[in-house]
Structure 1
Amino acid sequence: MRWDRFFDDLEDQLASEWEAERAALDTEAERLRVSRLEMRQRLTVLQAEASHSEVSWELSDGSSLNAGLVGVGADWVALSDAARRTGITLVPLPAIVGIRMSQADLLRTARADGATLSGLASRMTFGFVVRDLVRRRAAVALQLSSGRGMTGTIDRAGADHLDIALHDPGSPRRTGEVTGYRMVPFSALAWLRAEEGVSVL
């Protein structure tokens, strides 16, 4: 009788050790999976499974924007601010310093195993989208990471910068309306908004 109890105890102990080892392996596998996860993949999940919870984007200029995620590109996101109801705000990924969301959304995006961008979206860089705004001659507002804002029309966009003709919002880009010109590196931008509701998606 005592031997039966002894063997039962050994079996229980062995089962516990196996369970602990399996849990440790599962934990290590999860750490490894998360270590390979890119923010872009998590943002793709956030966009695909848009929830009604509020998401707040903390940007490099110190501002916060409560907006829905409507697009994810190679190195940028497109946000739609429900309060503004016009235009799309483009934010380069390096300008995002934090994203406030519910714990449920945070955990859901962390399970982004197979989340990938579509072939076209993964190739659409920030410069590509800005060049489309140049082609459309769309009036824009942009905010630098330093906190300075500008309005005008983008005349041209290079690989890592843009040239903007500055003028008042709502006024056309005419020589008499232009108050100055600036060359702005993409790395200095906190966000760029197409003022006329131009869709970039």
Structure 2
Amino acid sequence: MHWDGLFEDLEGQLASEWEAERAALDAESERLRISRIEIRARLRALAAAEAAIALELPAGRLLAGRVVEIGADWLAMAPNPGRGATLVPLTAVRGIRMDHGMLLASLDPTVPASELRERMTFGFVLRDLARRRVPVTIEDLDGCRRHGTIDRAGADHFDLAAHDAGSSRRAQDVLAYVVIAFAAVARIDLEPR
């Protein structure tokens, strides 16, 4: 009888050690999986869930809304219904605020990427805005806001014809022409159509 108790105790210890080792391996496997997740994949999961989030931008500014599109190096947010959209270069994102449930859900990025959309760069989108003559408000990293129309976009900069909000881009209404580096942009607000 004494031996039966000893063997049961040893079996229990062995099972406990195996369980602890399996838990450690599972934890390490999960850490490795998470280490490979890119922020774009998490944003894709948040967009698919239509999650309400707030982007932390430079100088402590927040942009609340829902992610509606994700590109190669940018994202589009819908801040409030009827307010248009906002383009944000990923380099301007300092953080993403959300509730804990969405934080955990964004770690499971099973939403497939849109091959074409996610190859579109920030410059590609700005060239399209220039082609369509969409009035925009540019906010730079320092919080300076300029309203105008993008005339053309290069590889790492764009030309803005600054004019008053609500007015069209007519030569007589242009207040200044400004060359703006992509790296200086915190956000671009598009007027609703």
* Shorter-normalised TM range: over 0.9
- The letter of the residue matching 1:75 is D
Question: What is the aligned partner in structure 1 of residue 80 from structure 2?
Answer: 82
> Taking every aligned residue pair, what percent have the same amino acid on both sides?
51
Unaligned ranges ≥5, structure 1: none
Structure 2 Cα separation of the partners of residues 196 and 46 of structure 1? 23
- The letter of the residue matching 1:62 is G
Question: What is the aligned partner in structure 2 of residue 127 from structure 1?
Answer: 123
Spell out the pairing of 1:156-195 with structure 2 (5 A cutoff). 156-195=152-191
- The letter of the residue matching 1:95 is A
Deviation, 1:58, is 1.1
Structure 2 Cα separation of the partners of residues 78 and 61 of structure 1? 20
Question: What is the aligned partner in structure 2 of residue 70 from structure 1?
Answer: 68
Count matched residues. 193
Question: What is the aligned partner in structure 2 of residue 8 from structure 1?
Answer: 8
Question: What is the aligned partner in structure 2 of residue 138 from structure 1?
Answer: 134
Whether the 8 Å CA contact 2:48–2:111 is kept in 1: the answer is no
Q: TM-score under structure 1 normalisation?
A: 0.92
Unaligned ranges ≥5, structure 2: none
Q: Deviations over 1:122-163 (max 9, x none)?
A: 211111111100010111101000110100010000111110
Structure 2 Cα separation of the partners of residues 39 and 57 of structure 1? 13
Structure 2 Cα separation of the partners of residues 105 and 82 of structure 1? 20
Structure 2 Cα separation of the partners of residues 61 and 120 of structure 1? 33
The change in CA–CA distance for 1:100 and 1:116 in structure 2 (over 3 A counts) is: same
Q: Deviations over 1:6-43 (max 9, x none)?
A: 00000000000000000000000011111111000000
Question: What is the aligned partner in structure 2 of residue 94 from structure 1?
Answer: 91
